[in-house]
């Protein structure tokens, strides 16, 4: 709310308190992938403006904002530290790592890790997005007859990169107890294909790489698309796209499946197949 208060103050007074944020930064959901909008929120100028409104102007709407300005300032310093490249930069937090500053940087990293670990979200936070799905990791024995869930994460959505990171975490945990994972099987949806790419595999026929290296043991872990799910995807494409051709430009059409089922219903017979109306309403 201090960010909201700051922007509303700027709009009401017709000024900018030495920051670049505006109403657009409050409506970030429309531009989720715009990194600049996020970076400008976590800047020292925003933290300084909040402190100025609290300390110098003594505005009531900025009371108790010390923790907020400290959070913004720490995020700014962390970004500077991770993005430090300029040899001539006068700002210590933006200087690249070298023998002369390695101890100071280690100390700062430790400080920031401790700060982040101490952060928490209260359970009654109304702004938390409600989870709608569960991502489950199931361990299946290849030389026995058992399977067991080993991890689950309640989620709203997961990108391919996030899913790949979770896989690495689960592999690390299983490695600690001596479980050897040789294969990972997943559905063929687009997010899982992206996950494979982030892990280092490639299912492209032109450059097939069907494995990635285990994050700890460095052994090959093979990736496989679930055959049953892939058959369903082929069926779905066959029905919905309806514009598939073979190499001779002959059209492959779903309507023949429909014609076959309608013939069976009309004549009261089954032409040596097990399909019926249910198969059209998949």
Is residue 271 situated within a structural domain? Answer: yes
258 and 221 in a common domain: no
What Rg do the C-alpha atoms of the chain give, in angstroms? Answer: 28
Kindly give the pairing relationship between strand 220-225 and strand 211-213: antiparallel
189 and 161 in a common domain: yes
Residue range 184-241, pLDDT digits in tens: 999 888 889 999 999 999 988 888 999 999 999 999 999 999 888 888 888 888 888 7
184 and 137 in a common domain: yes
Mean pLDDT over 18-44 rounds to 70
202 and 145 in a common domain: yes
Exposed, middle or buried: residue 19 (CB in 10 Å: 0-12, 13-18, 19+)? buried
The C-alpha atoms of residue 167 and residue 243 are separated, in whole angstroms, by: 37
Is residue 94 situated within a structural domain? Answer: yes
Name the band, by pLDDT with cuts 50, 70 and 90, for residue 138.
very high
CB neighbour list of residue 216: distance below 8 Å, 6 or more residues apart = 171, 172, 175
- Expressed as residue numbers, the domain containing 274 is 229-279
Residue range 56-102, pLDDT digits in tens: 888 888 898 999 999 999 988 888 777 656 666 666 666 777 788 78
1 and 112 in a common domain: yes
Q: Which of 118, 145, 162 is the last residue of a domain?
A: 118
Is residue 128 situated within a structural domain? Answer: no
179 and 221 in a common domain: yes
Domain count, the chain: 3
48 and 25 in a common domain: yes
- Are 87 and 96 in contact by the 8 Å Cβ rule? The answer is yes
CA atoms within 13 A on the CB side of 112: 19
- Are 242 and 253 in contact by the 8 Å Cβ rule? The answer is yes
254 and 202 in a common domain: no
In the numeric block, the tokens 């531009």 are attached to 31
114 and 30 in a common domain: yes
Is residue 38 situated within a structural domain? Answer: yes
Q: For 242, phi and psi rounded to 5 degrees?
A: 55, 30
Is residue 27 situated within a structural domain? Answer: yes
């Amino acid at each position: 709310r201090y960010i909201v208060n700051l922007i509303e103050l700027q709009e009401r007074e017709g000024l900018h308190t030495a920051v670049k944020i505006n109403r657009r930064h409050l409506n970030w959901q429309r531009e989720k992938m715009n990194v600049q909008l996020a970076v400008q929120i976590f800047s020292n100028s925003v933290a300084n403006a909040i402190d100025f409104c609290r300390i110098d102007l003594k505005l009531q709407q900025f009371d108790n904002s010390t923790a907020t300005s400290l959070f913004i300032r720490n995020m700014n310093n962390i970004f500077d530290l991770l993005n430090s490249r300029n040899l001539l930069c006068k700002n210590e937090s933006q200087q690249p790592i070298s023998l002369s500053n390695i101890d100071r940087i280690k100390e700062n990293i430790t400080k920031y890790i401790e700060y982040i670990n101490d952060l928490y979200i209260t359970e009654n936070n109304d702004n938390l997005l409600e989870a709608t799905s569960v991502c489950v990791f199931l361990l299946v024995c290849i030389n026995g007859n058992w399977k067991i869930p080993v991890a689950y994460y309640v989620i709203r959505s997961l990108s391919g990169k996030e899913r790949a990171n979770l896989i690495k975490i689960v592999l690390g945990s299983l490695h600690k107890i001596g479980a050897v994972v040789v294969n990972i099987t997943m559905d063929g949806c687009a997010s899982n294909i992206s996950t494979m790419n982030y892990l280092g595999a490639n299912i492209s026929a032109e450059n097939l790489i069907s494995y990635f290296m285990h994050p700890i043991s460095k052994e090959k872990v093979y990736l496989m698309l679930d055959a049953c799910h892939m058959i369903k995807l082929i069926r779905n494409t066959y029905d919905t796209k309806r514009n598939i051709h073979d190499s001779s430009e002959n059209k492959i059409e779903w309507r023949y499946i429909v014609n076959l089922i309608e013939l069976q219903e009309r004549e009261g017979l089954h032409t040596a197949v097990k399909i019926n109306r249910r198969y059209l309403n998949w």
